A = this chain, B = another copy of it.
Amino acid sequence: MPIAATARFRRFSRAVTREVGALDTSFLGRGRPLGAARVINAIGRGRSEVGSLREDLGLDSGLMSRLLRGLEEEGLVRTHAHPDDGRRRVATLTEEGEREFRAYEELSEAQAAAILARYPHREALLAAMDLIASALGRDRLSLNEIDPRSETARDCLGQYYAELARRFERGFDVARSRDPDALDMIRPRGAFIVALSDGLPLGCVGVKGTGGESAEIKRLWVAPSARGLGISRQLMTAAETAARALSIRVLRLDTSSALPEAVQLYRKTGWREIERFNDDPYPDVFFEKQL
């Protein structure tokens, strides 16, 4: 490792903890100690079982318990036994707790906006932040099957089309391509999978079913900031698993020699190149895989 690398890393670490770290350690001025504020936020984000809360926040069970009692007394949280296991407890926010959670969210948004407003070249700064967040958080990636008509899915697809437009010499027009019908990518015919990191979509893939034993892989995309982290491979594995669960026996896909990384990936993961099987004007390479 070159000597300078750690120096650069440490400079980054200092700059960030000074400017950004304060954000996470601040109580955001709501008159509540950090621990309690963190619990409210964790519950607000969907962590509800006490055990997983504890793990998430890295707290001792005694401390966790006391924090929850405190929030209960404040009227922000209610706890009840887990329906399947009376030992475990589940915490939920009361209406007032929800309000408090939203107040924290708004303050946090406002702080983020205030910090960003201070710097020029915001897009470059954000792109660098995306890259770092993706690299650091790569083991926290979650693959979720969602509705291809949902906002998250449309967000991914929009970025996918924009990228194709940039990559193809003649541009790309969705209308001219065979846009898979959304219903073909919903169970039981097919599936649509997104890779989420901390809520932000970083990639997607669709399995477009026909109702029979064959299906097509469509719309494989990974955000530029998250490339090189093996996300496309994870997405493809998830897509194949989903296809198997749908009793699909053979998968096909079309792609383009203008996307060499994609072609490479398919070659390396057991796909066999086949003859053209459609008359879509954009693709010029075709693959098949038996499951």
Contacts and interface: CB of A to CB of B under 8 A. Distances in A.
Contacts of A199: 7, 11
A228 interface: yes
Given A6-B112, A17-B20, A136-B20, A120 B11 contact: no
B131 A128 contact: yes
Contacts of A16: 16, 20-21, 132-133, 136
A10 to B, nearest CB: 5
Interface in A1-33: 1, 5-21, 23-24
A113 B1 contact: yes
Interface string A221-258: 00000001100000000000000000000000000000
This protein's copies in its complex: 2
Contacts of A273: none
Given A1-B117, A11-B133, 5 more contacts: A5-B126, A8-B133, A9-B116, A12-B129, A125-B132
A45 to B, nearest CB: 11
Q: Give the bracket for the number of chain A residues in contact with chain B.
A: 35 or more
A63 interface: no
Identify the interface centre among A129, A197, A198: most chain B CB within 10 Å of its CB: A129
A116 B6 contact: yes
A112 B9 contact: yes
Contacts of A87: none
A158 B258 CA distance: 37
A137 interface: yes
A284 interface: no
Prevailing SS type, chain A contact patch: helix
A134 to B, nearest CB: 8
A115 B9 contact: yes
Nearest to A200: B11
A116 B9 CA distance: 8
Contact of A13 (B9, B20, B119, B122): B20
Instruction: Specify which of A119, A133, A200 lies most central, judged by the most chain B CB atoms within 10 Å of its CB.
Output: A133
A131 to B, nearest CB: 4
Contacts of A109: 6, 10
A223 to B, nearest CB: 11
A124 interface: yes
B131 A14 contact: no
Interface in A192-235: 197-200, 228-229
B5 A116 contact: yes
Contact of A21 (B21, B122, B125, B132): B21
Contacts of A200: 7-8, 11
